[in-house]
Structure 1
Amino acid sequence: MSARKRRPVLVIGLGRFGGAVAETLERMGHEVLGADCDSQLVSEFAGTLTTTVEADCTDTKVLEQLGVADFEAAVVAIGTDIEASVLAVLALSDLGMTNIWAKATNDKHARILERTGAAHVVFPEQRMGERVAHLLNERLLDFISFDGEFAIARLKAPEPVVGVPLVTSGCRKKFDVTVVGVKRAGENFIHAVPDTIIFPDDELVVSGRISDIERFSAI
């Protein structure tokens, strides 16, 4: 099913996080209704999103008027006003919305959001902080963690694996990481197979435990 055939997405809060989510969804082909109490933010996104509205989305009557029942999902991207973010999630839940994504600022905030109806809680600042910390060593070119223990990372091919097929270097057996893909200058990423030979300056996409990936990048 194409994105245009899906029901639209409601994004509540058009700050940096909410605005980025809304614009990305729009580029992906979704219809997006962006809502915020700040008229200036609403005006800024008026030409970018399918629809924008200045509204208090902590009020169930307002959400009913916006037609919440017609939305595929809702993203509550309110960050600084914890009370407003919780009330917005609660109002959406009361109206039968189940696919609610909400931004949390701390663990306590997250627990309250989950108990009031948020199906998915995200910590964008925490995630970015972790990512920057891992990238600071300059050996990792990109980094995404999962569940705090596993990750997928992009890095320059370590010297011990250069010039031989992956089956020979034994990345999984020796270093406990799996090489998923390989990127060479001027070429697209390719899926890695046992016979893939690693060249100097290749970039590797690897998966594994964070500690193993960091050790692999440092050899």
Structure 2
Amino acid sequence: MKFNQFVIIGLGRFGSSLGRELINLGYEVLGVDRDEEKVQELSNILTHAVVADATEEEVLRSVGARNFDCGVVAIGDDIQASILATILLKELGVKKVVAKAVSDLHGRVLERMGVDRIIYPERDMGVRVAHQLVSPNLLDYIELSKNYTIAELAVPNCWSGKSLEDVNPRGRFGCSIVAINKPKGMIIAPMAEDVLAQDDVMVVIGTNDQIEQFQQSITGA
């Protein structure tokens, strides 16, 4: 399902950053926050921004929250407000509800409420930065599930000029290079004969163990 309209409740650092990026990607965004200063700051950036208390059902009804494809609860400093806003979005029938969690306990509560996706910005960023620090060739790291990861890895100098068939990540490690980001553009679903270059970035998907083994082979290459 493609989502075109988002309502973001809470315009702090996470909510405002999310809203700005969704606007840049061409989507419609309604921002809701009790802080007039935060709303004013984004009033000329988001599609709409309103000063309102999202823990009040009538308020969410009045701003038309039920008509949005996806609701994001980005409240971080008030867990009670986060939970109340999440409950109301679910009760109003918003198609997909995503919520920010500030702790594992907060996340477990949101999970029991049937939230479609729970985001842990600080924890997830910490994990990504840790992987980047210990793996020089690792440019980005996203955990798709408990077992699967997608990673962006820089091509080591000694692999420049080699084809994917030569590198053979699937045969050697079980993971797959699903794209190659070259300076001139992205190659999606590359073929075995596609050749790697020094400035290329490989987009690799596999289990956590497969990705780790592949990273180690690059580091030692």
Q: TM-score range by the shorter chain?
A: 0.7 to 0.9
Higher mean alpha-carbon deviation, 142-151 vs 76-85, is at 142-151
Query: Displacement of 1:31 after TM fit?
Result: 2.1
Query: Displacement of 1:102 after TM fit?
Result: 0.7
Label 1:173 to 1:158 Cα distance change in 2 as closer, same or farther (>3 A). Answer: farther
Is 1:67 equivalent to 2:64 in the alignment? yes
Give me the whole-angstrom Cα distance separating, in 2, the residues matched to 1:174 and 1:2: 36
Query: Displacement of 1:165 after TM fit?
Result: 2.5
Corresponding residue of 1:88: 85
Which of 16, 21, 24 matches 1:24? 21
Corresponding residue of 1:166: 164
Query: Displacement of 1:119 after TM fit?
Result: 2.2
Unaligned runs of 5+ in 2: none
Give the alignment's Cα RMSD to 1 decimal. Answer: 2.2
Query: Displacement of 1:176 after TM fit?
Result: 2.5
Give me the whole-angstrom Cα distance separating, in 1, the residues matched to 2:22 and 2:154: 31
Corresponding residue of 2:54: 57
Q: Counterpart amino acid of 2:17?
A: A
Give me the whole-angstrom Cα distance separating, in 2, the residues matched to 1:134 and 1:55: 40
Corresponding residue of 1:152: 150
TM-score by length of 2: 0.86
Query: Displacement of 1:47 after TM fit?
Result: 1.1
Query: Displacement of 1:20 after TM fit?
Result: 1.3
Q: Is the 2:76–2:101 Cα contact (8 Å) retained in structure 1?
A: yes
Q: Counterpart amino acid of 1:165?
A: S
Give me the whole-angstrom Cα distance separating, in 2, the residues matched to 1:116 and 1:182: 39
Q: Is the 1:158–1:216 Cα contact (8 Å) retained in structure 2?
A: no
Residues 163-182 of structure 1, C-alpha deviations (whole Å, 9 max, x = no match) = 43222332211132212222
Residues 97-150 of structure 1, C-alpha deviations (whole Å, 9 max, x = no match) = 342111111222122123334222111211111110111122212222211332
Label 1:216 to 1:2 Cα distance change in 2 as closer, same or farther (>3 A). Answer: closer
Which of 90, 104, 107 matches 2:104? 107
Corresponding residue of 1:124: 121
Q: Is the 1:98–1:117 Cα contact (8 Å) retained in structure 2?
A: no
Query: Displacement of 1:9 after TM fit?
Result: 2.0
Label 1:49 to 1:140 Cα distance change in 2 as closer, same or farther (>3 A). Answer: same
TM-score by length of 1: 0.87
Unaligned runs of 5+ in 1: none
Residues 35-86 of structure 1, C-alpha deviations (whole Å, 9 max, x = no match) = 1011110111111111111111001111111122322221110011100000
Q: Which runs of 4+ in 1 moved over 6 A?
A: none
Give me the whole-angstrom Cα distance separating, in 2, the residues matched to 1:200 and 1:26: 34
Secondary structure in structure 2 of the residue aligned to 1:189:
strand
Query: Displacement of 1:162 after TM fit?
Result: 4.2
Label 1:159 to 1:59 Cα distance change in 2 as closer, same or farther (>3 A). Answer: same
The count of residues paired between Structure 1 and Structure 2 equals 215
Q: Counterpart amino acid of 1:113?
A: L
Label 1:97 to 1:156 Cα distance change in 2 as closer, same or farther (>3 A). Answer: closer
